[in-house]
Every structure is written in C-alpha cells, then in structure tokens.
Amino acid sequence: MNSRRKFLQKSFLAGAGLSLPAFVSADQLGAYLKKVAPSDQINFAVIGCKGMGWSNINAQLKQERVNCIALADIDQSVLDQRAADVEKLRGKKPKVYTDYRKMLENKDIDAVIIGTPDHWHCLNLVDSLSAGKHVYVEKPIANTIEECRVMVDATKRYGKMVQVGQWQRSGSQYAEAIDYVKSGKLGQIRLVKCWAYQGWMKPVPVVPDGPVPQGVDYDMWLGPAPKRPFNANRFHFNFRWFWDYAGGLMTDWGVHEIDIALFAMGVSAPKSIMASGGKFAYPDDASETPDTLQTVYEYDGFNMLWEHATGIDKGNYDSSEGIAFIGNNGTLMVNRGGWKVMPEGSNQDGKWVEKLDKVDHVKPKFNAMEQHAVNFVDAIVANDASKLTCGIETGSVAAINAQMGNIAFKTGEKLYWDKDKGLFTNPKANELVKASYHNGWNLPKV
C-alpha cells in the first residue's frame, strides 16, 4: 500500500509535473490524465477480446494516456462487437486481426493484453515479448507448471514489463489485511483458509458436437490443445471447466486467494499437498473439473486449506469467497468486500477477556482492477519492473501452487515437493508438470 501511495503521489505522471492524492476516483483520475501529451500515451492491443480481455482494456481506457489501437480474436463476431465498443468509448475504431501474430507486427503497439484461454497464455506472452511489447496477462498465467517457468524465463530475457491480472494485489483491503497479518497481532497462525463458493454456477448441460460457428477460426482457438470436434460447452467462457484448456475453480479463483495468502505468510512452495473432491454437485453435467474440492497444503509452521464448491454461496464466515488467517489471538478474514478481525478470548475470573481488539468490517477504498491497470502503465512509463504490483514471478507462484492442487487431485495421492529440484518426489505427478502441445504447435524455447 505504501508503495502504491508513493506511486500516486510522486512517480505517476511525474513527467507532466502533476501530483495526485493517495486515493482518487475514476473521474478524478481522468481529469488528471487529460493533461497528458499524446507523445506520452501508451498504445494497447488485445489478444482474446470477449471476457477478461475486454474487462482489462476497459479498465485501461479509464486512463486518458491509454489508447486501444488493435484487437485480435478468432471469432469475427467478437471482433466486430469489441471494435464498436472501443469506438464508442474513444471515437476511433481499432485495427482488427484474426491472427494475433500478424497484429504483433504492428510497430505502433506498446503493450498487449492477453485475455485468451489459459492454454494459450504461454505462446501469446512469449510471442508478444519477442515482438518488443509489454504484456498484461490474465491469470492463471498458464495451464501447466512447465509453461509458468517458460514465461518467467521469457520475461527475464526480453526485459519488458509483465503484469499478471491478479488484481486483488492492488486492493486497499488486501494491503491493509496483509499488513495486519505481518504485524504479529494474530499470534501464531496455524491455519489459513482460502475458498470460493460459487452459487451462480449451475450445471453445464450436455450438448452434442456441432458445426463450427460462422466466422470462428476453430483450429486457431484449439492451438496447442488436443484436436477435438467443436462443442459449444468447450468454447468461450465454459472452457474453464475442461482440462485441455484450464484448471477449473482451483486455478480460476484459486490463484486470486492463494496469492494473497502466500504473500501475507511469506512463503512460496509447500512441503506437501493432498486433495480430495469430485463432481458431487452435478455428477452428470458436461464439465470435467471438480465442482467440489478440498486441497491441503503443508508449509513450515502452518497448513493452508483451499476449498471450492459450485451451486453454493454460503462459505466460511458466511462469505462466498475469501481468505482467513487463523491465529492463536484471533482470526482475520478478507475478501473483495473488505476485511475484519474476530478476536479470541478467555474467561478470566468470570469475565470474558479478548486477546486483541476487534476490527469491524473495513471496506475497500477504490476500484482495485482500475488501480491495477494504472500500476501497469506507470511501470511501463518508468521502465521499472519493481513498480509492478503483480509481476510474472508473483503470478507464477500462485499459478504453480494452484496447479499443485490439481495434480494432487488427479493422482489421488499425497504429494511431496522437492523445492531444490522444483519437482515432486512422485514420478506420476511430475508427468503432469509438463506441457503437452499438439497440432504442430511447440512449447516456446527461451
């Protein structure tokens, strides 16, 4: 939080001779940024424009110093819609491409947002970096541990700014909660709980394979994933629930919550992992990934529990998602709605005495996604990766831990991690660390 405040007060738009208060609204931000000269503006492009790709560029366009000059997508209907959306926001249509590689030849592009399915992230990122672009990549950064490592190596090689879309890192409530955890007031923290209970998620109905929709380059959508007939369930949003393309809620939501938990606790790799779950809510629907899962991670001195469930909203502490740090003196719970502290206590001579002061619900102070967008551009302007709130190393830690949970689920065994080798002690699990590319695509070599 302190670094973000300094960023806003000192470095942000320093070249324009401007200063900002510690917290600003989107409208205030726009007013400041209108003073930015066109020569100081950053030209963005997007690969994968339908869902989070659009959310991310929309957040960037709250800044007057950002332009969107190009879009790439394999679905012509999405391209047409998003080009019109950008024109509505800025009065000018971006160039559109059906092959992102052709788009990357555009020398006017400074930065690229990657909003494609997880199985494409590694290729998209390495290609963008090698083309000289800065990158904002959606989480989880990749669909395998091996790809995560390639992406970290590529970022080091090309020296560009890479921000990962784990935007909770830019939320005031998370920064405040992390500071409290690190203060030691909670006492010995023996357990951290992370969870996502997603009541909105209903069964994915089974539908037959069918023709590829008009205007869709389905072979390009598959890319390095196994060749399969087109099925609407595997396309666009629902790709998340199929192993070929993603890792289910364990990676989709898990990286957000696990990232905060590990950062607050100052750890990066577990000693052991075990997981249990399955398709208990909707056993006959079309999805592959578990709709119910509990994963236990063992770190030095504490355990972390990840759990998720679909079709249910009432999670821990009556919250559908969050992170709880459970210490001897009390529990801190934080989520997108804010944070609070629930003290422990004891009966002393007939009187209940609490071990620390209660902290009532503290709400977030600003829009974290928009703040995350501003942070990325500031790092680009300063050409300083240390300014990034969530760089590629941070994103890889969260993604790798989440992938470990899925690997433990798939093997059905308690797994042990050798941090020196960066591998499991289980050969079967180590096979799942690797990326498997198809259709003539190859894992990038850096």
Q: Tell whether 128 and 160 lie within a shared domain.
A: yes
Residue at 437 is within a domain? no
Instruction: List the single range of 149-163, 347-361, 379-393 with lowest mean pLDDT.
Output: 347-361
Rounded to a whole number, what is the largest CA-CA distance in the chain?
A: 76
Q: Tell whether 346 and 425 lie within a shared domain.
A: yes
pLDDT score at 347: 84
Q: Tell whether 61 and 207 lie within a shared domain.
A: no
Distance CA 143, CA 247 (A): 7
Query: Three-state DSSP class for 241?
Result: helix
146-163 mean pLDDT = 98
Using a pLDDT cut of 90, give the percent of the chain over it.
89
pLDDT score at 49: 97
Residue at 442 is within a domain? no
pLDDT of 15 > 70? The answer is: no
Q: Tell whether 186 and 124 lie within a shared domain.
A: no
**Segment holding 383, helix H or strand E:** none
> 384 CB contacts (<8 Å, ≥6 apart)?
none
What pLDDT digit, counting tens, does each position of 168-188 carry?
A: 999 999 999 999 999 999 999
Q: Tell whether 194 and 91 lie within a shared domain.
A: no
What pLDDT digit, counting tens, does each position of 45-75 carry?
A: 999 999 999 999 999 999 999 999 999 999 9
Residue at 427 is within a domain? yes
Sheet holding 111-114, edge to edge: 95-97, 66-72, 42-47, 111-114, 134-137, 162-164
Residue at 136 is within a domain? yes
Instruction: List the single range of 37-41, 197-201, 211-215, 399-403 with lowest mean pLDDT.
Output: 37-41
**CATH code (residue 427):** 3.30.360.10
pLDDT of 5 > 50? The answer is: no
For the purposes of burial, counting CB atoms within 10 Å of the CB of 329, is it exposed (0-12), middle (13-18) or buried (19 or more)? middle
Distance CA 359, CA 198 (A): 27
Residue at 121 is within a domain? yes
The boundaries of the domain holding residue 385 are 2-169+368-396
What pLDDT digit, counting tens, does each position of 424-440 carry?
A: 999 999 999 999 999 99
**CATH code (residue 116):** 3.40.50.720
The answer to whether residues 322 and 257 touch, using CB atoms and an 8 Å cutoff, is yes
Q: Tell whether 312 and 223 lie within a shared domain.
A: yes
Residue at 436 is within a domain? no
Categorize the per-residue pLDDT at 31 as very low, low, confident or very high, splitting at 50, 70 and 90.
low
Categorize the per-residue pLDDT at 37 as very low, low, confident or very high, splitting at 50, 70 and 90.
low
pLDDT score at 350: 82
Q: Tell whether 192 and 305 lie within a shared domain.
A: yes
What pLDDT digit, counting tens, does each position of 340-381 carry?
A: 999 999 888 888 889 999 999 999 999 999 999 999 999 999
pLDDT of 79 > 80? The answer is: yes
Q: Tell whether 45 and 132 lie within a shared domain.
A: yes
Q: Tell whether 52 and 161 lie within a shared domain.
A: yes
Q: Tell whether 213 and 159 lie within a shared domain.
A: no
Q: Tell whether 194 and 163 lie within a shared domain.
A: no
- The number of C-alpha atoms within 13 Å of 293 and in the hemisphere containing its C-beta is 30
Q: Tell whether 137 and 250 lie within a shared domain.
A: no
Q: Measuring CA to CA, how many Å separate 319 from each of 329, 416, 445? A: 22, 31, 43
Residue at 113 is within a domain? yes
Residue that terminates a domain, selected from 377, 396, 415: 396
Closest C-alpha among 415, 428, 406 to residue 271: 415
User: What's the total number of domains in the chain?
Assistant: 2
**Segment holding 32, helix H or strand E:** helix 26-33
pLDDT score at 136: 98
290-313 mean pLDDT = 97
Closest C-alpha among 259, 220, 222, 217 to residue 239: 222
In the chain, what is the straight-line distance between the N-terminal and C-terminal CA atoms, in Å?
Answer: 34
Instruction: List the single range of 34-48, 73-87, 301-315, 403-417 with lowest mean pLDDT.
Output: 34-48
Mean pLDDT of the chain: 92
Q: Letter for the amino acid at 316?
A: N
pLDDT score at 346: 86
Residue at 150 is within a domain? yes
Which carries the bigger pLDDT value, residue 377 or residue 23? 377
